[in-house]
Structure 1
Amino acid sequence: MRFKDKTVLVMGGNSGMGLAAAKAFAAEGARVRITGRNQVTLDEAVIAIPGAVGYQADIADIEAAETLIADIEASDGAIDVLYVNAGVGGFAPLREITEEDWDFVHSVNLKGCVFAIQKALKLMGKGGSIIVTGSIGAHASLPGNLTYAAAKGGLYAAVKVIAGELVSEGIRVNMVSPGPIDTPLLYRNPGMSEEAVAGLKQQMINAIPMHRMGEADEVARAVLFLASDEASFITAANLFVDGGALELR
């Protein structure tokens, strides 16, 4: 029970990797708090996680993040582990990128994540752990991935700076960068047809040395490791969970 009596906030915990991690944290004794934009899936997640509390919040809404942290301060007093997982996809070639799509993806995947960490720090102290979901897309050249890669690349740089700023406070900050994971995010790409998504999925599988998509639970296990005392001497790390797709290409 690595997280017994600890308060864990999973932002973007109502589906996919966030939901898998939230369930795993709860199974190891944590008091789990999750956020999500979709009230229906949020309610379903709360039912599936013993003792969980859900908050409907859009990570791109900075004021909503402040309200969320105030609510958690009133109910729990502190946050021991913060897992910032909220994210959206956005695949389009350079000539087809719109300013609206660019701003939407960056408002969630970069700006929203950074300010979520900033607001949550009010309730974190020595021994705290922050994990952020990145992507191998930030480190690879995949045509059509410009908007998403730029946002996740910026987030990777931000995490390193944040880790450096917080190390003296005893707060560890790490990133887990999944490769192709079979989660709902893959199927929510603005402007892509079902056929295009299916083609993208097969393209991803073909590029993975393990010849399969990853599962959300596999990412969750990496998140819990980085959040736990087992990783007490690890900060500013970027752990790839990608079936060898990046390093064995």
Structure 2
Amino acid sequence: MSARAALITGGTSGIGKAAAQALHSRGYRVAVTGQRPESVARAREELPEDVLVLQADIRSLADTDQVVSEVRNRFGSLTTLFLNAGVSRPVPLDVCDEAAYDETFAVNTKGQYFTLVKALPLLTDGASVIITVGIGATRSLPGNSIAAGSHGAMLAMIPTLALELAPRRIRINAVSPGFTDTPMTRTAIGASSPDVPATMAEMAERIPFGRLATPEDIAGTVAFLASDEAAYVTGQEIVVSGGAGLSS
């Protein structure tokens, strides 16, 4: 039996990078993608040297074709596809414009969907597909309507996709992080707050567990969904939020 192999979009920082490290430590061959050159360069320095790090814009179907081709050449097949690339920028309704809307849906919905479409021939029977959604898709967060809609669209697709993939025993599930301490989170907070650490501390006080999630908290759930222990789990959403969103 060939070794397990995983492709992780948005895998050069934050949750995706932590998932790459978690799966690699479990014996997976791993490929990750990232868009920003600086993030890609850092990942090449910090991830294990046998991790395949590719620069790609998930909005570009041509880039996705190239990623799939390189993964095919390196691994031959995939046992795990972690669709983690995403953008989340607070955009209040009264200042929203078409460009912000189009970019968010191009990454969070179109990009993720067509990565699955194009990677499907590489997925082995019994493979695992995992999609990062986030609690904002189903819980009210001011200024989050566009991001919620884009992630929510993927969440709505999962039951149907689970049935379509079931004949090959391919599982597809969502992992929905709560507030997580990632570079993207810090950047989003910094766009509206002059004191990012203080704002994050205030956010942590509103979480029942008293802290923000770490990328490793989410990566552990991803590793479970990729494993044989989750072989009978499909069409589901697992929320990893430390209790955030359970009370008003």
What range is the shorter-chain TM-score in? over 0.9
Per mean C-alpha deviation after superposition, the further-off stretch among 49-58 and 181-190 is 181-190
Scaled by the length of structure 1, what TM-score is found?
Answer: 0.93
**Further displaced range: 229-238 or 71-80:** 71-80
Distance 1:245 1:152, change over 3 A: same
Cα gap change, 1:203/1:98 in structure 2, threshold over 3 Å: closer, same or farther? farther
Aligned-residue CA RMSD in angstroms?
2.0
Comparing 78-87 with 159-168, which one deviates more in the overlay? Answer: 159-168
2:223 alignment counterpart: 224
Instruction: Write out aligned runs for 1:1-249 (5 A).
Output: 5-50=3-48, 51-189=50-188, 192-195=191-194, 201-202=200-201, 204-249=203-248
Residue 49 of structure 1: how far off its partner (Å): 2.5
- Supply the distance in 2 between the matched residues of 1:190 and 1:243 (Cα, whole angstroms): 20
TM-score, length-normalised on structure 2? Answer: 0.93
Contact 2:158–2:236 under 8 Å retained in 1 = no
CA contact (8 A) 1:6 1:29 kept: yes
Query: Take 1:160 and 1:246, find their aligned partners in 2: how far apart are those partners?
Result: 22
Q: CA deviation at 1:120?
A: 0.6
The one-letter amino acid paired with 1:68 is V
Aligned residues with identical type, % of pairs = 36
Tell me the secondary structure at the aligned position of residue 117 of structure 2.
helix
Moved more, 46-55 or 131-140: 46-55
Count of aligned pairs: 247
Matching residue's letter, 2:158: V
| CA distance in structure 1 between the partners assigned to 2:147 and 2:204 by the alignment | 19
Unaligned runs of 5+ in 1: none
- Report if the CA contact (8 A) 1:209-1:248 is conserved: no
Shift in alpha-carbon separation, 1:190–1:204, aligned structure 2, 3 A = closer
